[in-house]
Structure 1
Amino acid sequence: MTNTTTNSTTTSTTTSTTSSTTSTTSTTGVGDGVGTVYARALRKSFGDRVVLDRIDLDVACGEIVCLIGPSGSGKSTLLRCVDGLEEIDRGILRVNGEDLGFREDDATYQALTRKELAAQRTRIGMVFQSFNLFPNMTARENVMSGPVLVKGTPKAQARERAEALLASVGLDGHGEHYPWQMSGGQQQRVAIARALAMDPQVMLFDEPTSALDPERVGEVLAVMKDLAQRGMTMMVATHEMGFAKEVGDTVMFMDGGLVVEQGPPAEVLCNPKEPRTQKFLEKVL
């Protein structure tokens, strides 16, 4: 993966996603194919506050990218942009080989309809730090809900798949349990199973262990390690430096909405070059 915080010289530029039609020349050969994330000069702001600036991404299929940095550095917002939950102000953002939120039509980019964007987002899974399970649904029903309601999967088929996914995250026999009957670690594993039920090519994790008791953290990290071993493309915002060092292919340190430093875990975590990275790691390691 290569990433810089300077504007990239590309032949294609997608401007604000709030525009319905944007003229551009297509760039080929970069960010193509399922399981990839590609961005150039990505910018996002809320009002006058810039939260992401000049972000470049080249996440290869099967790569594990760990985002580290202080709170408010832009990690969560970057993941929400990649998931399509937030619109970027300008730049290029391509996930699974497709321009997120747009389709190419006669050498121009047309904004997707809400339904088209929802279909595009089914190929991207996201797990939040607060679980976000439906409290009135059992674990099985939570996992079934997306395939049945969004993809039209028959209930019997979705139920069978839900049971298999719950078993794969160590929750065999917990299908009838409601969220309030499960520990935080168990709820987060249900959330992972629910995301996987949509058959995503890219998985995003927004500090998935930050809301857990220390003794439950290992349960969730074990599931994530298994996904990594199976070749799932993952972007993970995390404070778990041990996980980043053991599992990550690339570590990106973010601060102030910028990618300050990035590279292999052994380099960034053990021999950082940037003073801001060094200062952050002194506090957390």
Structure 2
Amino acid sequence: MSIINQYSCISRYDGIDNRIERYFYFAAGDAPPALPSGVAVNVFCHDYLKDGFNDNPAYKRLTQIAGHFALWNRQDSRFVDDDNDGFSIADQLVKQEVEKLGATISQKKYFSLFPLPYYPVVGANTQEPPFTIEEQISRNSGLALRPFIDQNGKSFCPDYNDYKGDSPELVALGRIIGTPTEGLYLGVGEAQTVTGDNISQIQRIEPNFLYIRENVLKKIWFHFGANNLPIKPTEETENQRTYFYWPPDFSNPYIKKEGYQDLYTVSSRNDFELIFQRQSDSLDETITETITHDRKFVCVPKVGE
């Protein structure tokens, strides 16, 4: 298992109000390098108010959250495609276990590498806005599992109860990975703006986005109901548009703390492509093609509650 940490980088520019923020991710033991001194003078991935303007490998990353979620370790030999047929050993073992249980199933791709934004591009392009989704380096930090669909058409990520149930496919999957899973969701923030010395210099910047695991999201997500008041989702309303404030306030999640929190919308793969006007080509369509009722992106190993 690969434990994934989240951090952020911000960019500030002379004569421009506000800041542009982006979230990034790295696996434990694979920390991103410090930003080179003097190259990206307006981009910071550490607390420059406390530690000074120049970055250092010893500095904690800005807003770092350790163990934000988990993926399967890409070095695990079970996930190697040893015969280059597009299916990993784990994919093939699931099919074999199903057949041992006396059932038949077509070969499926259950697992795939899941690229994550790792580090901002630094250099000439970061000296002026925008600080865009294109200006980042991605890294395959681990693998994710495709969601499943139950008999009622609802998506789910399997846990121990499913592995002990009556579905040969899920029993077989449990024998191979033996790990309970949870959904990983994508939250897209509101459009960001930067303002220069006059109104004509206002620029709209691509919104920030982040990944959030199910057991965190479902403590803080909500719908906007009558009079724009937040309403906690139920199983019957999970297919409706849902939102959350980030950073989270678990004790009072439905009131926005101005100047501290931003509003995020739980978004599907299609939502992502429409918002950013580009294909999410770094994401494997095989495991994100499932139409999930609540917009969960993929399934990942469950960590904590």
Q: TM-score, normalised by structure 2?
A: 0.24
Structure with bigger RCO (C-alpha 8 Å, 6+ apart):
1
Q: Is the helix fraction higher in 1 or 2?
A: 1
Q: TM-score, normalised by structure 1?
A: 0.25
